[in-house]
Amino acid sequence: MAEKHPKWRHRLFHTYFLLRRPMTLGARGVVLDEAANSVFLIRHTYVGGWQFPGGGVETGHTVEQTLAKELMEEGNIELTARPELFAIYHNAHASKRDHVALYVCRSFRQIAPFAANREIAEAGFFKLDALPEDTTPSTRQRLSEILGGLEPPLFW
């Protein structure tokens, strides 16, 4: 019996749409230590400003797998429960095709102190009322949305 929808046909259409409408997806984590009233931020070596840890979703990985990997690489942070998806934003600052899934992470542990590397110059927990001066405007806005119970906009 012939397949109703042959696999080659599915792959052909998938490849066509990938080339015609490519999209990138990233995952970022807002790691909140509510007991200490602080948030974990990073500063890249190649981009200015303090921001949330995260990175691009690679082929074959889920968004949550990517988030867990990036938190470990960028801060030695291990999730101890599933993070909460807060919003998905269109990140037109990066490109017309980029999207960011923002997660709130309240259940975690830092398994070792962070040590600077080629990608991350600095990282650490900061009091919510004393963020570094050069924290990016987008990072400040996302914190306002999360902590203030505001409706997230569509754009990063």
Write out pLDDT tens, residues 61-117: 999 999 999 999 999 999 999 999 999 999 988 778 899 999 999 999 999 999 999
Can you name the residues that pair with 41 across neighbouring β-strands?
124
- Is 105 within 8 Å of 125 (Cβ atoms)? no
* Closest by CA position to 26, among listed 74, 71, 86, 89: 89
Taking the CA atoms of the chain, what radius of gyration do you get in angstroms? 18
pLDDT of 119 strictly over 50: yes
pTM: 0.86
Residue 69 CA to its chain's centroid (Å): 11
Query: Are the CB atoms for 89 and 124 separated by under 8 Å?
Result: no
In the prediction, which pLDDT does 96 show? 83
Give the CATH number of domain 23-148; options: 3.90.79.10, 3.40.50.2000, 3.65.10.10, 3.40.50.700.
3.90.79.10
pLDDT of residue 93: 80
Higher pLDDT, 92 or 15: 92
pLDDT for the residue numbered 100: 96
Bridge-based pairing state of the strands 24-33 and 98-105: parallel
Domains of the chain, residue spans: 23-148
